[in-house]
Structure 1
Amino acid sequence: MKIKEIEASETWQIRHEVMWPDQPFEFVKLEEDKEGLHFGCFVEEKLISIVSCFIVGDELQFRKLATLNEYQGKGIASELLKYVFNLAKEKGLKKIWCNARTEKKAFYEKFGMKDTDKNFIKAGQEFTIMEVLWE
């Protein structure tokens, strides 16, 4: 398994297939993708998991963390998230946050993230904002 930086366009297929299969493909292309850092996890040259990161000031928001269905439950997204957390620490950032699907909240809590109780619905999915703060 190898994690490396990728182009935004390389994330779109997994975003669509895993997160928003019922939406048009264009739905997963974000205007802000061009400002982000995008990382992929590869197994034998096959892209299997992705995440996009956006740094503003001393905060990092990660978005669109997704792993192909056949690779889920194997700790791959956890490794990708550890990579993102290390990146944020290396850059001296004070906060990491995400818009988590409410049914995935427990996954993010394993990384010390707390629910802010700020909830919203997007395209029929319920989300909550999760964050972790560092001194």
Structure 2
Amino acid sequence: MYPEEEISYVQLPEDNKGRHLGLYINDKLVSVVSLFEQENATQFRKFATLANQQGKGYGAQLLDYVIQQAEKEGKQLIWCNARASARGFYERFGMYTTGESWWKKDIEFIKMEKRFN
């Protein structure tokens, strides 16, 4: 996610409470995501794919799985804080922007969500 930073930059105190998933291709971890459950919602964070593996559909496969699982588990909502530059990617999965954008380390972020019926 932030290859120029130390691992501690992305570590959060609540990481041990999350579910961490990865997509492997030929025994190599290429895409990851962390899920944090709330009563009626799932937040996903730290969704990333290796730079040299992007554009091959691996992240899309992982996100599709995560969305399907949240719906299957009876969640009403799935959401994330996304880079604004990735808005189109998330919109392909039926997600939409909510609220105002904000900046962190020269990167614009937006909240995106998808509600289930």
Identity %: 43
1:22 deviates by 2.8
Following TM superposition, where does structure 1 have runs of at least 4 consecutive aligned residues deviating by more than 4 angstroms? none
Gap runs ≥5 in structure 2: none
> Is 1:64 equivalent to 2:46 in the alignment?
yes
Alignment root-mean-square deviation, CA = 1.0
Q: Alignment length, in residue pairs?
A: 117
**What residue in structure 2 maps to residue 12 of structure 1?**
none
Gap runs ≥5 in structure 1: 1-18
**What residue in structure 2 maps to residue 98 of structure 1?**
80
Q: 3-state DSSP class of the match of 1:83? A: helix
> Is 1:108 equivalent to 2:90 in the alignment?
yes
Q: Comparing both structures, which one devotes a greater share of its residues to helix?
A: 1
**What residue in structure 2 maps to residue 87 of structure 1?**
69
**What residue in structure 2 maps to residue 122 of structure 1?**
104
Give the TM-score, by structure 2 length. Answer: 0.95
**What residue in structure 1 maps to residue 114 of structure 2?**
132
Give the TM-score, by structure 1 length. Answer: 0.82
